[in-house]
Structure 1
Amino acid sequence: MDLVQNLASLRRLRGLTQEELADRSGVSVRTIRNLELGRVHNPRRASVGLLAQALGMEGGAGRAGTAVDDHGHWRGPQPPAGPLVGSRVTQERLMQAVWTNQLTTFYGPGGVGKTQMALTVAAQLCTSFRGGVAVVELGDIPAELDELAGGTAVVLERVWQRLDHPELPLSPPSSASQDRPDTNLLLVLDNAEHLPSSVITAARHLLGRFPEMHMIITARRRLTERLGVNHEIQPLSCEPMYGVDLPGAPAVQLVLQHVGPGDRAASELMRDLPGVAELCRRLGGMPRYLEFAAERMRTVPLRLLLTSGLAPELLCTSDHFLLPHQRSLAASVGWDLGLLTEDHRRLLGRLARLPAAQFSIDLLVMEYERLGTRQTTSALTVLSDLMETALVTADADGHTFQIVDHVSAVLTSQNTCPPGARETGLPLSPTI
């Protein structure tokens, strides 16, 4: 993390005033204030070193701006190259949560940007941990392993592999501590929603055994209320803040940024900002889906994309760095459906075929009873599950509900009941 650019965040993270930081570092309050306001572009290296030491940043000035590039401090997928679009206040709040809690779960619907936010926060905190950051991808572990005794061992084995440590997952602490990795680190377990039991058991084991370790888990829904804290990652706002023009709306800003300022499509989009805002609303302000749309608009005009009804087959990417269920809108929604029961999926399919977009509780109960199977869960519980996974949302009055627009587009395009897990992209064979 760049200490100078993030000085105010780091200072507040440690609960210090500018005066207290000045006393600890020997750097004047005036210099600290000017650095935080961006008035000093080339600070003296000695001052940066003193501030780094006062803030407890491992490695001092030499690592203040290069920790992410230091492979001894960052292991795994790299954080975003530039700043995230959105609220800086939100990022600072999440930094504070991760710093003060051993476990923090970032949860939210697919495409909302949990991974990007987790990696950004981890990069900002990297130099605050002696062992740096280790990022472990869980999205390709088979979902059915969560029901087996070996699921936790698979998760832990991934962790040891990332730390380049040959220790067996559940073995007792080794007496030869000189070869052990520094466990004062920030561990990121990414894409954990399909392995809730295994991941939480692994987290309890790791945090109980290594009290200096902190952890971020990303998942599409809450995994537990009894361990750590949960923070919901919100979609980008499609409306500008008061006093800001439409291009300043975070969702619109992301689309324009992803298209690229030098692209011909960018100038066309600037002439139709209301259309861009409408696209953002239909996609619920979800960053990944907005990026898919931005990629498509390099060849397909905005108005044509809107009149197509946001055909799911148009919203995809060829970026194979992403997991299969992250490469298209349809695959992402399919992943969510695969995490639900057959009754959930069949009910959602029936609701998608109703003539009106909105439905009441009474209509939902009626459609649920028409499934013709022996239900073990009440209709209200099913509705709650669909809302928790952000597939269904309540209208402003709280009495009517509707399927989220982009989810409805996927279900409508299938023209059938939602698929089961085997059609959703959930990994169903060992890929360890």
Structure 2
Amino acid sequence: MRNDLLLALRTQRGWTQEELSERSGISVRTIRNLERGRVQSPRRSSLDLLFSVLDPEQRGSRAAGAAPPGAGLPGAGQGTGRGVGSGVGNGVGNGAAGAFPLARQGRTGGQPAPSSSTMPTPPLTPPPAFGAAAGATGPGFTPAARLQTRWRGPRAPRTALVGRDGDLDRLCDIVTGHPVTVITGPGGIGKSRLALAVAERTAGAFPGGVAVAQLGRITATAGVAGGSGGVGPGSGSRPGSAPGSGPAGLPVAGLAGPGGDGPGALAAAGQAVTELLGDERQPRGSGPALLVLDTAEHLPQTTALLVEQLRGAWPDARIVVTTRRPPVLPEARIFETAPLPLDSAVELMSRRLASNSLTDDLAGSPDRVRELCRELDCVPRLIEFAAYWLRSVPVSALLRPEHVLELLGVPDVSALPHQRSMRGSLEWSWGMLDSRQRQFMARLAERPEPVASDGIGSDAGSEAEFSSTEAVCLLAELADASLLQVRRGHRYEYRMLRHVRAFVRHRAQPATALTRPTPLRAAAGG
């Protein structure tokens, strides 16, 4: 790796070496030596940790191809794909002989990943503790010692977490009191942000350290097409689902679009966690650790097996999973993340507008901003997108569904590709649905009111193509995928968020309607 590449990426982001060290988990001394060209053969894991925060979209290709002629990087670029995991990237392919090769393997050795539709469960040897600081264990250990706790992977943004105080308190109690916590909710709702905030607040309770593994990129290198069987809970299939599909109608070894829940994905996920935990050789027993598995909705089987293996090998660890679609984990505690209260959403918008040197009045008016927050379902990520665009377009433009679908997004290379725009986020969820689920979503999008459980027979299932039984199954599946919000009580109500409905309706439009030109009108007084 050219030393000027690391320096250029760091300065481009405006970070000091200390800030890069804090975000990546790599020591300041190592960063300094890399930038000065004093390290001729840097570790692959160190490069991936750095590129995971500096240039996550290109970190695999940079690590594989950035070395000048004659300056080889052992372990860099010998894999068969881009790195996977935030701070834990690896080439995947022949080098992934099993899910958890804790003894670091060469990237060109080993056996190919199994190609059968049955997910392998290779034995997992207990990983060592990976970061207990000196003096961080024993009776004298207090939450203040969190500053000494080793952190691997990305950290939470430094901006304030608005409107989540209650959620944060409850999650801290859940995470410290239960072995596995699953944080679920629709895209952009703030699952990852909450998980990182919980990890930072509770870090002092984990002398073994905190590790954050980003699973959202595994599909780019480890997806396995084809196969049969189910990825959802149970072993039956929904009435009307395609042959060879599970209860959710999804093929086991490759989801449509962002899929990849197969043997290769398990090997990649295991290798990702191995890279995250395997550098340190501290003795076992230095204290429990916290592991965050972020963005796991496209890997339900992989995540379930991964957690099962980690729990068997590392019983003292606490595991947090963020996902739009929770995996089947019998001992997990599920936390559903709801949209912000409207007042908190408006506060978040005001904070983001202020950071752009805007005010509510300049952006339109406080009432219009409040209306915009409501139309965006008080989803934090969408509000941040809107605040970014209010520098350039008026509120009225963002209140039009056909505009908001195309506009809402930011060029943030530190985020996963599907997290950079509203449409990309919804396409990510849409890609995990089968044809029946999409058809049913289109039917529901035509209805402005929620669907009640006691009215399914006469409403949602009234169309000839859906029986009442299938309609019940489809409602459950779409709710499980966080595409429908459920109000539970004597009867259940299923509600589609406004921006989801706008997306589904937009997708159902004929292609000619999507490409019809919009006439331009001269501004009055211009």
Q: TM-score w.r.t. structure 1 length?
A: 0.69
Match of 1:195 in 2: 299
Amino acid paired to 1:195: L
Worse overlay, 104-113 or 400-409: 400-409
Amino acid paired to 2:348: L
1:10-89 pair list within 5 angstroms: 56-57=141-142, 63=145, 66-67=147-148, 73-89=150-166
> Does the C-alpha gap of structure 1 residues 182 and 53 become closer, same or farther in structure 2, counting only changes over 3 Å?
closer
Deviations for 1:338-388, whole angstroms, at most 9, x for unmatched residues? Answer: 222211012222443x47666663342133x337xxx99712110222233
> Does the C-alpha gap of structure 1 residues 110 and 182 become closer, same or farther in structure 2, counting only changes over 3 Å?
farther
Deviations for 1:34-74, whole angstroms, at most 9, x for unmatched residues? Answer: xxxxxxxxxxxxxxxxxx9867237xx6x45x34xx7xx11
Q: CA deviation at 1:193?
A: 1.1
> Does the C-alpha gap of structure 1 residues 396 and 121 become closer, same or farther in structure 2, counting only changes over 3 Å?
closer
> Does the C-alpha gap of structure 1 residues 86 and 53 become closer, same or farther in structure 2, counting only changes over 3 Å?
farther
SS at match of 1:264: coil
Amino acid paired to 1:213: A
Q: CA deviation at 1:165?
A: 3.7
Choose between structure 1 and 2: higher helix proportion.
1
Match of 1:92 in 2: 169
Match of 1:101 in 2: 178
Q: Is there any run of 5+ residues in structure 2 with no aligned partner, and where? A: 1-136, 225-252, 254-259, 512-526
Match of 1:46 in 2: none
Q: CA deviation at 1:134?
A: 0.5
SS at match of 2:181: strand
Match of 2:288 in 1: 184
Distance (Å, rounded) in 2 between the aligned partners of 1:395 and 1:94:
21
Distance (Å, rounded) in 1 between the aligned partners of 2:487 and 2:180:
33
Instruction: Choose which of 433, 442, 461 in structure 2 pairs with 1:365.
Output: 461
Contact 2:261 2:300 in 1 (8 A): no
Worse overlay, 225-234 or 107-116: 225-234
Amino acid paired to 2:311: L
Distance (Å, rounded) in 1 between the aligned partners of 2:487 and 2:313:
46
Q: % of aligned pairs identical?
A: 32
Amino acid paired to 2:396: R
> Does the C-alpha gap of structure 1 residues 278 and 125 become closer, same or farther in structure 2, counting only changes over 3 Å?
same
SS at match of 2:387: helix
> Does the C-alpha gap of structure 1 residues 116 and 55 become closer, same or farther in structure 2, counting only changes over 3 Å?
farther
2:242 equivalent to 1:157: no
Amino acid paired to 1:302: V
Contact 2:269 2:306 in 1 (8 A): yes
Instruction: Choose which of 397, 402, 411 in structure 2 pairs with 1:304.
Output: 397
Worse overlay, 89-98 or 305-314: 305-314
Amino acid paired to 1:412: R
Contact 2:181 2:321 in 1 (8 A): yes
Distance (Å, rounded) in 1 between the aligned partners of 2:334 and 2:198:
15
Distance (Å, rounded) in 2 between the aligned partners of 1:293 and 1:161:
37
Q: CA deviation at 1:311?
A: 2.5
1:140-289 pair list within 5 angstroms: 140-142=217-219, 144=224, 147-165=261-279, 184-224=288-328, 226-238=330-342, 249-261=343-355, 263-269=357-363, 272-289=365-382
2:510 equivalent to 1:406: no
2:474 equivalent to 1:382: yes
Match of 1:423 in 2: none
Amino acid paired to 1:132: G
- Count of residue pairs brought into register by the alignment: 335
Deviations for 1:63-120, whole angstroms, at most 9, x for unmatched residues? Answer: 45x34xx7xx111011121331114232121111111111111111111100000000
Match of 1:169 in 2: none
> Does the C-alpha gap of structure 1 residues 138 and 273 become closer, same or farther in structure 2, counting only changes over 3 Å?
same
Contact 1:411 1:417 in 2 (8 A): no
SS at match of 2:461: helix
Distance (Å, rounded) in 2 between the aligned partners of 1:118 and 1:312:
27
> Does the C-alpha gap of structure 1 residues 310 and 282 become closer, same or farther in structure 2, counting only changes over 3 Å?
farther
Contact 2:179 2:331 in 1 (8 A): no
Worse overlay, 227-236 or 394-403: 394-403
RMSD over aligned Cα atoms = 3.4
> Does the C-alpha gap of structure 1 residues 102 and 395 become closer, same or farther in structure 2, counting only changes over 3 Å?
closer
Contact 1:265 1:297 in 2 (8 A): no
Distance (Å, rounded) in 1 between the aligned partners of 2:487 and 2:477:
16
Amino acid paired to 1:137: Q
Worse overlay, 337-346 or 258-267: 258-267
2:420 equivalent to 1:327: yes
Match of 2:407 in 1: 314
Q: CA deviation at 1:183?
A: 6.7
2:201 equivalent to 1:124: yes
SS at match of 1:311: helix
Q: CA deviation at 1:272?
A: 2.1
Distance (Å, rounded) in 1 between the aligned partners of 2:328 and 2:346:
34
Contact 1:112 1:288 in 2 (8 A): yes
Distance (Å, rounded) in 2 between the aligned partners of 1:80 and 1:54:
32
Q: CA deviation at 1:309?
A: 5.7
Distance (Å, rounded) in 2 between the aligned partners of 1:55 and 1:339:
48
Deviations for 1:211-259, whole angstroms, at most 9, x for unmatched residues? Answer: 2211111111322251221111121011xxxxxxxxxx11111111112
Match of 2:520 in 1: none
Amino acid paired to 1:404: L
Distance (Å, rounded) in 2 between the aligned partners of 1:101 and 1:400:
29
Amino acid paired to 1:162: L
Distance (Å, rounded) in 2 between the aligned partners of 1:183 and 1:312:
47
